[in-house]
């Protein structure tokens, strides 16, 4: 055993900067994933058949292939096909956003469908129009089912974001490898960014619990 | 004045015919009990009246309007038809008072203060004035059902549909709900009640509809029906439950 954490001290600011770089594209990806996922979920529960087929096919493709493959296809294939030199950041946001939306759409669909059918019937019987029923009656109740699973998806996305190190995006993971290569010591930088990832996930978990408690009024 | 006219109503669920050729007329202010064995189609019949189930054939007129016509605005028509469900279906994320005022404010565009005044009066009428800030899940079954009745009344409907309103309640809570319904009947509200409470049917109803296997077998004034049912199936049914 020859562990020496003092050697990574000069590189700590460089690695900590990676938190922001990682968060930047994770946050954008979550937003993209949530927006597209919501639209896909509405397609899935709606009555327009072609939209439903599209959403189901989309989900099947993005859940049925490895994320790293999707990332590589976007990063390497877009320049080949269109001569547009896509940046690692944009590739990462596209791959993670599109991939996440497939999972998010399933979470939202299941959350909406888990709301008691009687709620819809009661709203119909009172003459409440569809849009208002969705916004004021169904979605607030669905959110309680959705939120824990959605938080899980965000946590997964934060951790899986390390995959972007494979296309040279200088995120937290990539930075630990850069430091490891420079020092010829890998354990210390890897352990260090491991703690950083864990801290980020813990903060997300705590935020999730807090929001969940706020939503549980009335139970 | 006729409030409901049902003409040759039939309903299929896939290949399964649950209602066959039912025709009924109900006058304003009448209280009608719908009885019959389970699976006889009585709930489905009731749910057709406000189009929660879409009739396969036949016509339904409520207050002169043909609900089954393609151009009818069903959402609008439902404002005038109150419904009370077996399992209450209160909105669990809203307080009792908000349950009562949501639809009047959002659908009928009532001012919030006016809707709340009316809501409080209705809560008083069903004996729950002290519960306006409570959430539904903190109430007993009987209380929930009384709130559900008040919620439907808040829309000032022309008629009220009750789908087995006491079937999900503990026995000691049945009376409080039936009492509210009796009061309502005395105000002249037109009511259709699917029920297993034969005492209520006999005491309060003006007319009894007896359904079996999706057909309307017998209709009549309650005393005559319960004392001397004419059809064999009604005789069998009453022999089993009374």
Q: What is the pLDDT of residues B4-32, one digit of tens each?
A: 999 999 999 999 999 999 999 999 999 99
Q: Do A141 and B106 touch (CB under 8 A)?
A: no
Q: Which two tokens stand for residue A175?
A: 């930075």
Among all chains, which residue has been given the structure tokens 């705590």? A206
> What was the pLDDT predicted at B1?
76
> Minimal Cα–Cα distance from B206 to chain A, Å?
25
> What residues does B194 pair with on adjacent strands?
B34, B163
Residue A210: half-sphere exposure toward Cβ, Cα within 13 Å = 6
Q: What average pLDDT score do residues A19-33 get?
A: 92
Band the pLDDT of A74: cuts 50, 70, 90.
very high
The DSSP call for residue B93 is T
Band the pLDDT of A147: cuts 50, 70, 90.
confident
- Measured CB to CB, residues of chain B less than 8 Å from chain A are 50, 52, 75-79, 81-83, 85, 87, 89-94, 102-103, 106-107, 135-137, 151-152, 155
Is residue A212's pLDDT more than 90?
Answer: no
Across A76-80, A119-123, B118-122, least confident range = A76-80
CA distances from A15 to A162, A164, A166, B128 (A): 13, 15, 17, 62
Checking DSSP bridges between strand B65-66 and strand B81-84, what pairing results, if any?
A: unpaired
Question: How many other CB atoms are there within 10 angstroms of residue A206's CB atom?
Answer: 10
Q: Which two tokens stand for residue A12?
A: 């700590």
The gap from C-alpha A174 to its chain's centroid, in whole angstroms, comes to: 19
Q: Is A27 exposed, middle or buried (0-12, 13-18, 19+ CB in 10 A)?
A: middle
The DSSP call for residue A47 is S
Phi, psi of B2 (to 5 degrees): -80, 135
Q: Do A127 and B75 touch (CB under 8 A)?
A: yes
> What was the pLDDT predicted at A1?
66
Q: What is the pTM of this model?
A: 0.82
Nearest CA in chain B to A121: B52
- Residue B5's nearest CA partner among B43, B54, B58, B55 is B58
CA distances from B223 to B189, B227, B229 (A): 21, 6, 10
Going B138 to B143 to B144 to B150, the CA torsion angle's sign is: negative
Say whether A78 sits in a helix, a strand or coil: helix
**Alpha helices, DSSP H, located in chain B:** 42-49, 74-78, 96-106, 112-125, 141-153, 171-186, 198-204, 222-227, 232-241
Q: Say whether residue A66 is in contact with chain B using an 8 A CB cutoff.
A: no
Ramachandran region of residue A182, left (φ > 0), alpha (ψ -120 to 50) or beta? alpha
Q: Say whether residue A136 is in contact with chain B using an 8 A CB cutoff.
A: yes
Q: Which two tokens stand for residue B191?
A: 């009511």
Measure the N-to-C terminal CA separation of chain B; round to a whole number of Å. Answer: 34
Instruction: Going residue by residue through chain B, which has 242 residues, state the pLDDT in tens, using 9 for 90 and above.
Output: 778 999 999 999 999 999 999 999 999 999 999 999 988 999 999 999 999 999 999 999 998 889 999 899 999 999 999 999 999 999 999 999 999 999 999 999 999 999 999 999 999 999 999 999 999 999 999 999 999 999 999 999 999 999 999 999 998 999 999 999 999 999 999 999 999 989 999 999 999 999 999 999 999 999 999 998 999 999 999 988 87
Q: Do A122 and B106 touch (CB under 8 A)?
A: no
Please say whether the beta carbons of A192 and A135 come within 8 A. Answer: no
Is residue A218's pLDDT more than 80?
Answer: no
> Minimal Cα–Cα distance from B212 to chain A, Å?
25
- Which of B50, B107, B135 lies at the smallest CB-CB distance from A128? B107
> Minimal Cα–Cα distance from A141 to chain B, Å?
7
Q: How far apart are CA B139 and CA A91, in angstroms?
A: 53
Torsion of CA A131, A137, A142, A147, to 10 degrees: 100
Please say whether the beta carbons of A67 and A94 come within 8 A. Answer: no
């Amino acid at each position: 055993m020859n562990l020496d954490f003092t050697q990574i001290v000069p590189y700590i600011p460089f690695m900590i900067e990676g938190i922001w770089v990682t968060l930047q594209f994770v946050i954008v990806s979550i937003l993209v994933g949530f927006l597209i996922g919501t639209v896909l979920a509405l397609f899935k529960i709606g009555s327009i058949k072609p939209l439903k087929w599209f959403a189901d096919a989309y989900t099947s493709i993005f859940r049925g292939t490895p994320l790293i493959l999707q990332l590589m296809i976007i990063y390497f294939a877009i320049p080949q096909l269109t001569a547009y030199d896509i940046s690692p950041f944009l590739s990462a946001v596209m791959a993670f956003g599109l991939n996440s939306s497939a999972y998010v759409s399933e979470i939202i669909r299941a959350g909406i469908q888990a709301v008691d059918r009687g709620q819809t019937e009661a709203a119909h019987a009172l003459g409440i129009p569809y849009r208002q029923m969705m916004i004021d009656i169904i979605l607030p109740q669905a959110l309680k089912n959705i939120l824990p699973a959605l938080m899980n998806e965000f946590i997964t996305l934060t951790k899986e974001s390390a995959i972007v190190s494979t296309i040279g995006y200088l995120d937290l993971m990539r930075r630990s490898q850069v430091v490891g290569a420079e020092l010829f010591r890998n354990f210390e930088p890897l352990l260090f960014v491991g703690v950083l990832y864990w801290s980020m996930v813990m903060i997300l978990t705590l935020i999730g619990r807090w929001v969940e408690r706020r939503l549980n009024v009335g139970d | 004045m006729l409030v409901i006219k049902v003409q040759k109503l039939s309903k299929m669920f896939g290949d399964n015919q649950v209602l066959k050729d039912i025709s009924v007329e109900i006058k304003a202010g009448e209280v009608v009990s719908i009885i019959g064995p389970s699976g006889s189609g009585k709930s489905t019949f009731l749910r057709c009246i406000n189009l929660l189930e879409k009739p396969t054939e036949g016509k339904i007129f409520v207050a002169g309007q043909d609900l089954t016509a393609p151009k009818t605005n069903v959402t609008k028509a439902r404002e005038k038809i109150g419904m009370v469900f077996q399992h209450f279906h209160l909105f669990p994320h809203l307080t009792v008072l908000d349950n009562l005022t949501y639809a009047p404010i959002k659908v009928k565009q009532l001012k919030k203060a006016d809707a709340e005044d009316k809501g409080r009066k209705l809560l008083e009428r069903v004996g729950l004035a002290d519960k306006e800030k409570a959430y539904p899940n903190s109430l007993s079954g009987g209380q929930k059902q009384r709130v559900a009745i008040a919620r439907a009344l808040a829309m000032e409907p022309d008629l009220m549909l009750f789908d087995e309103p006491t079937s999900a309640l503990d026995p000691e809570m049945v009376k409080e709900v039936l009492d509210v319904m009796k009061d309502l009947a005395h105000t002249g509200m037109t009511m259709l009640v699917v029920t297993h409470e034969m005492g209520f049917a006999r005491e309060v109803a003006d007319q009894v509809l007896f359904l079996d296997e999706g057909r309307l077998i017998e209709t009549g004034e309650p005393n005559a029906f319960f004392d001397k049912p004419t059809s064999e199936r009604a005789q069998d049914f009453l022999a089993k439950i009374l």
